[in-house]
Homo-oligomer: A and B are copies of this chain.
Amino acid sequence: MTLDRPRPLSGVTVTAFTLHEDQLWVLLVKPSKVAGRAAPERWILPEGPVDVERDADLLSCGRRILKEIAGLTPAHVEQLGGWGGGKRDPRGWSATHVYIALISAKADVLPTVSTAATAEWSAVMGDGVDRQLGLDHEEILAAAVNRLRSKTEYTSLPAYMLPSEFTLSELQRAFELVLERSLEKSAFRTRIHASDLLAPLDRFREGANRPAKLHRLRHRAPVYFPRPLQPKE
């Protein structure tokens, strides 16, 4: 890499997901808060340039953006990929490193759909949201949803979008919300118990029915199941 060429814009984009009120939500940035953008009337995904002074690496940059924009600290972060080209941003050649961040649904962090001052949660429908996004962020969001969905077929990713204690039924519902299809209870529970994903607690979720045992994640890293779920044709 030589130093005397024009450098493209370089930044980080974060697709942050959580589960709330039986739906999958993605964090969007309020268009009015983004001054000077080319399409300021459109919502976009949280993103920002690398801060050469403060960001040690790309991951820290993504975490900082999420913290600054919405005050959130994700339970899990992983890279999705990179988008770059001469035409995706009207200001010129730009490239971004995109992360998927999964947010634990704590009642105090997400009391309603709109929480943070500069960002807002939007329900995911299919592989997008109910509004047009700016730049190429519809494509990026679709890729993020599809990656989250396909990894849900063989990993424990949806567990990161639950509160720290949850029941097996709540975990199954999280998988179903991401996959947009129902799963068979017995098979799901066998799969979970055969892995060492969960540690049982001595507490129970009480209700107008048989109490359900509460569990927490046993590990920080996601679990990979031996076989993918088998989506029917």
- Residues in A lying within 8 Å of B, measured CB to CB: 1-3, 5-11, 36, 47-52, 55-58, 61, 79, 81-87, 89, 91-95, 97, 226-228, 230
Q: Contact at B49–A93, with CB atoms within 8 Å? A: no
A10-B95, A52-B8 are contacts. A82–B79 as well, Cβ < 8 Å?
A: yes
Q: Contact at B79–A81, with CB atoms within 8 Å? A: yes
A58-B82, A85-B57 are contacts. A94–B9 as well, Cβ < 8 Å?
A: no
Secondary structure call for the A interface = loop
Which of chain B's residues has its CB closest to A55's CB? B86
CB-contact partner of A52 in B83, B92, B97, under 8 A: B92
Q: Which residues of B contact A93 (CB under 8 A)?
A: 50, 52, 55
Q: Which residues of B contact A227 (CB under 8 A)?
A: 227-228
The CA of A7 and the CA of B8, in the complex, are separated in Å by 8
Q: Contact at B81–A81, with CB atoms within 8 Å? A: yes
Q: Shortest distance in angstroms between A223's beta carbon and chain B's nearest beta carbon?
A: 15
Q: Which residues of B contact A86 (CB under 8 A)?
A: 52, 55-57
Query: 10 closest Cβ contacts across the A-B interface?
Result: A57-B85, A82-B97, A1-B49, A58-B84, A10-B10, A52-B93, A7-B7, A79-B81, A1-B11, A82-B82
The CA of A7 and the CA of B7, in the complex, are separated in Å by 7
Which of chain B's residues has its CB closest to A52's CB? B93
A-B contact pairs, 6 of them (CB 8 A): A1-B9, A1-B89, A1-B94, A7-B7, A81-B82, A82-B82
A95-B58, A227-B227, A227-B228 are contacts. A84–B8 as well, Cβ < 8 Å?
A: no
The CA of A50 and the CA of B6, in the complex, are separated in Å by 9
The CA of A5 and the CA of B2, in the complex, are separated in Å by 19
Q: Which residues of B contact A95 (CB under 8 A)?
A: 10, 50, 58, 95, 97
The CA of A26 and the CA of B55, in the complex, are separated in Å by 32
